[in-house]
Amino acid sequence: MEITKKFKVNIFIGVLLTILIAGYMLLMDLPALKKIERLKFLRFSLLETIEGKFYDYRFKMRGEVKPPDNIVIAVIDEKTIARLGRWPFRDKLAKLIDKLAEGNAGIIVFDVICSEKDKNDPILAKAIGNAGNVILPVVFNIDKEVTESVKYDNEFLLRSAFISVKNPEMFNKYNPISAYGVLVPVPEIIKEAMSLGHIDMFPDSDGTLRLESLIIEYNGYLYPSITLQTLSAYLGVPFERVVVDATRGVQIGKKYIPTDEFGMSLINYYGKEQTFEYISVSDIVEGNVPSEFFDGKIVLIGGTAIGIQDLRVTPFSAAMAGVEKHASVIASILENKYIRKSSLATNLAILLSSGFIFSFLVTRFRAIGALGVTGMTLLLLAFSGYYAFAYKGSWINLTYPSINMLLIFVSVTAYNYATEERYAKKIRAMFSCYVTKKVVDELIKNPDMAKLGGERREITVLFSDIRGFTAFSEKHAPEEVVSILNEYLGAMTEIVFRWEGTLDKFVGDAIIAFWGAPMKQENHAELAVRCALDMIRKIEELQHNWRSEGKAPLDMGIGINSGEVLVGNIGAEGKKMEYTVIGDHVNLGARIESLTRIYNTHILITEFTMNNIRDRITDNLGHLLVKGLERVTVKGKEMSVQIFEVKSVEPGTESTIIECKKEEVIHLKEK
C-alpha cells in the first residue's frame, strides 16, 4: 500500500509540474506579452533566453554549410584603407561600381550608408546610375526618445515601400516594428539607386543576432529589409508584386519566406565569419580580380576596417561582419534553406507528452535509476531537437520540456527521499529491537521484503526456556535473579542475531525467535537449528563460569517447529504494535519446547523442521546426532507429530539420523 501511494503521488507531481510549465508556455504566447517582448527586442523570459543558447548550440553541432557560389562580399578592409586612402573615398566606390558593372555583376548591394555630403558625390551618383542595379541602405530609428534622425517622406523612400499587403487587419493584433525617424543616403546618390532597403538589426537581450527583420513600419508604410530588395531584384520579381502576408510571411514570386507575427525571420547562418568569399575592394578597384568573376553574382559591399566595421554576435561567431549576415539571409532564401520555429501546438504537444511519459518512467526507479532515465530522456530529446533542426529546418523548443523533466526528477527524488526517510524511521522503530542492524538496513533498501501488515509465510520458530527458573527465583535475591537473567538473555539474543534470526519477545525467562521473516530466508530451518546448537554451547560455557563464581547454574530447553503462520505488525493501531507471528505452528513450537523436560534433552525439533533440514544434516550442519523419539500429540492438538532430539557429537564423528520407529502415538496432556 505504501509503494502504491508513493507511485500515485509521484505521478501527480509529474503531471502537476507539466501542466504548470505548459501554462507558463501559454502565458508567454499571449499577444500582449509577445508584443512587449518583440517591441523591446529582448527575451524577458529566462526560459526563452536559455532556449536561445540551445538554438545557438545546434548551429555549432551542425557545423558550417557550403555557401552558394553566386554571392560574394567586397570588403572595405584595412588593406583597402591603406591602398585607396581615408574613408569616405566615394570616387573609389564609383570605380568599384564601374568594375563590377564591367564584370556584369547581377546585383550590387551596399551595406555602408553615405549619409553625409562629399565633394565626390556626383561621381558616385553617376556610377550608380550607369550600373542601374545598385541597392542602397537606409537605417530606421526605432527609439522614440532619440531626435537626431528626422522624418523623411520623399519619393525615393516611398517608392521602396510595400504595395501589396495580405490580411492587413492582422497587424492590429501584432503590429510590426515601428520607426520614428530614418537615416538615408544624400539625395544626389539616393535618386540614382535601383531601390532602398533597411539594414537595421535587432539582437536578442544576450546580444546574439538570430532574427532578420524583413519588415519595418514607418510613417504608415511598410518597408523591406535590404535582403528582401536584393532577392526581389535578383529573382526578377517586380517589387510591387512582393506580397506581405501579415504576421505569417512574405511572398516573392514562387518563394514564400515564413516570418513570426512581427515580420521577423530566423537567420540560417552558413558558418562563422568569412564562410562566404571575401574580396578586398582594393583588389577589385586595382583590377586584380578578373571582371568575369562577378558575372551574374550578387556582390555585397561592407566594411571590416576599424572605424567603419559593423560586427555582430551570431550563433557561430562573436564578431561577424554585418554584411555577411545579409549574405546568409539571401543565400538561405535562394536555396530554400529556411528555419521555421515550431508552432505553439507542436511545442505544447512535445512538452505534455514528454512530461507525462517521463513522469510515469521516473517513478518506477530509485534515485540512481531515475537519474539514468533522466539523462537518457534528455539526450533523446536533445537528439530529436538537433535532428529536426539540422535535417528538417525546424526549431523545436527544448528548454520547456527539459526544465520540466529536471523539475520532475528533483521534485520526485526529494519527495521519495522524504518518504523513504520516514519509512526508514518506521522500519528502524519496528525492527531494530527484533533483528540486527544489517537486516534493518537491508529492509530499508528493499522495503518489499517487509510487509508491515499481516501475511502468510512459512517460517521456523524457536522457543527456549530456563528450567526451574521459578524455584531459582524463590531461593535467590531479586538483584541476583535480575543480574543472572540479563546475562543469560543478553548472550542468547546475541546468538539469535548472529544467526540472522528475528527476536520476537521475552516472556519472563523464555525467548521466542523466528526465521523467514521479515526477510525471506530459504534456509530458515537450518539457521534456527544452528542457532539452537550455538545456544546450547553458550549455556554450557555460562554454566562453567557460574560454577566458578559460586553461583547456581541454569539450564535450558529449546523447541523448534516449521510451518505456515501469520506474520506481521499486530496490535492496537496508534497504541501498541509489535512484529510477531501467530498460528498453530507457533503454538506447536511452544509445546515442543516444554517436552524437553520430559525427554531430558536440550533441543527438540518437529518432523516439519526435520523435513526442511534432512538433506543438509550430513553436509552443512556439522557433527550431529538427530534421533527420532516418538510420535506425540500435545495439549490442544488432535493431530500427532514426530519429534526429534538434536545434539552435537564429537568432531570427526559422522552425522547420524535415527528415524522414529515407534508408530504408536503418545498423548501428552500437560503443557
Residue-wise pLDDT tens digits, 590-607: 999 999 999 999 999 999
Under 8 Å CB-to-CB from 625, ≥6 apart: which residues?
645, 646, 647, 648, 649, 655, 656, 658
Q: What is the pLDDT of residue 381?
A: 93
**Which DSSP string do the residues of 121-146 spell out, in sequence order?**
HHHHHHHHHHH--EEEEEEEE--TT-
pTM for this one?
Answer: 0.67
* DSSP 8-state class, residue 584: H
Q: What is the pLDDT of residue 88?
A: 79
539: helix, strand or coil: helix
Assess whether pLDDT exceeds 50 at residue 330: yes
Angle between helices 399-431 and 46-62 (to 10 degrees): 110
Under 8 Å CB-to-CB from 357, ≥6 apart: which residues?
none
To the nearest 10°, the Cα dihedral for 292, 295, 298, 300? 20
110: helix, strand or coil: strand
Mean pLDDT of 550-578: 81
Read off the pLDDT of residues 122-163 as tens digits, 9 standing for 90 and up.
999 999 999 999 999 999 988 776 544 455 556 788 889 999
Q: What is the pLDDT of residue 443?
A: 55
The alpha-helical segments, DSSP class H, found in 393-477 are 399-431, 437-445, 469-475
Q: What is the pLDDT of residue 448?
A: 52
Mean pLDDT of 90-99: 94
Query: Which contacts (CB < 8 Å, 24+ apart) does range 32-38 have?
Result: 34/174, 34/261, 35/174, 35/175, 38/177, 38/260, 38/261, 38/262, 38/264
Q: What is the pLDDT of residue 43?
A: 46
Q: What is the pLDDT of residue 233?
A: 96
Read off the pLDDT of residues 161-180 as tens digits, 9 standing for 90 and up.
999 999 888 887 778 888 88
Assess whether pLDDT exceeds 60 at residue 434: no
**What is the chain's length?**
671
Q: What is the pLDDT of residue 607?
A: 93
